[in-house]
Amino acid sequence: MITVEVYDVTRGHCVGAITKAAAFVDPDATVRVNLASHRVQIEPIASTADVLSDAIKVAEYTPVAVGGAAVEAAPRKGCCCG
């Protein structure tokens, strides 16, 4: 299980974008997003934490490692929606 905090995940559209980004690199991965805590949990099947973190970054979100699970990125304010 890979867990990252993504501070700019604030609404349903963001959840969909994160899920789509993870599915692009690992179609069979299970993705869970908790909007209240900004935590994203991914159970990968065919991908690494670094690849999934990079996919989230490509989707213009900023994953921050939780327990060293992924490459750290500085949090940004707001979300892709405004």
Q: Rounded CA gap, 71 and 82, in Å? A: 25
Domain ranges of the chain: 2-65
10-residue mean pLDDT profile of the chain (82 residues): values are 94 95 97 96 95 96 77 47 54
Assigned CATH topology for domain 2-65 = Alpha-Beta Plaits (3.30.70)
| pLDDT (0 to 100) of residue 74 | 41
Q: What is the pTM of this model?
A: 0.79
* Residue 23: per-residue pLDDT: 97
The terminus-to-terminus CA distance of the chain in angstroms comes to 30
CA dist 28 and 20 (Å) reads 11
The DSSP output letter for 70 is S
